[in-house]
């Protein structure tokens, strides 16, 4: 189940952040605290954006920070940060940061597919943009609309 990888205590909401680097650090914090990832993984996610550009921005206001599987990842996990005021990520505005920590090249695919299917429903996407942790978690638990 998606909530096993993205539990409620991995969901965060803030009014604003200074920049996209800070957003990735804040988004990653629940994974760091639980030992799911190590600091080097966060450093690698940020380095990848500097190296490859804003490739992690997959949709309007949505970014999927990630780095090479297994390097600094101790366990499969995800964490979500929503922001009221969009932050510029190298020319792209972002309000949702979904950190993906993969241990290999395949074990995360089911979870990624599930969350992608949820976010393709416009009403669900609007809830994620709203930043309501309770409503977002309800969608994750039910696998569909609130």
Which tens digits make up the pLDDT trace of 74-103?
999 999 999 999 999 999 999 999 999 999
**What pLDDT is recorded for position 146?**
45
Give the global pTM.
Answer: 0.94
Q: H or E stretch including 84?
A: strand 77-89
Per DSSP, 48 falls in state: H
User: Is the CB of residue 76 less than 8 Å from the CB of residue 9?
Assistant: no
**What pLDDT is recorded for position 109?**
85
User: Is the CB of residue 124 less than 8 Å from the CB of residue 101?
Assistant: no
Give the pLDDT confidence of 9-65 residue by residue, as tens digits. Answer: 999 999 999 999 999 999 999 999 999 999 999 999 999 999 999 999 998 999 999
Closest by alpha carbon to 99, among 121, 129, 79, 122?
79
Q: H or E stretch including 86?
A: strand 77-89
Give the pLDDT confidence of 95-145 residue by residue, as tens digits. Answer: 999 999 999 988 888 888 999 999 999 999 999 999 999 999 999 998 754
**What pLDDT is recorded for position 145?**
46
**What pLDDT is recorded for position 108?**
85
Alpha-carbon distances, residue 21 vs 8, 18, 146 (angstroms)? 23, 8, 31
The helix-helix angle for 39-52 and 20-33 (nearest 10°) equals: 150
């Amino acid at each position: 189940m998606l909530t096993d990888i993205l539990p409620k205590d991995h969901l965060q909401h803030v009014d604003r952040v200074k920049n996209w680097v800070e957003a990735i650090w804040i988004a990653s914090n629940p994974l760091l605290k639980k030992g799911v990832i190590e600091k080097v993984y966060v450093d690698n996610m940020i380095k990848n954006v500097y190296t490859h550009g804003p490739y992690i921005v997959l949709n309007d206001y949505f970014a999927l920070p990630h780095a090479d599987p297994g390097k600094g990842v101790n366990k499969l996990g995800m964490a979500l940060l929503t922001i009221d005021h969009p932050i510029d990520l190298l020319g792209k505005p972002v309000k949702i940061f979904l950190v993906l920590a993969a241990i290999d090249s395949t074990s995360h695919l089911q979870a990624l597919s599930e969350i992608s299917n949820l976010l393709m429903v416009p009403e669900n996407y609007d809830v994620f943009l709203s930043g309501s942790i309770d409503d977002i978690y309800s969608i994750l638990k039910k696998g569909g609309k609130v």
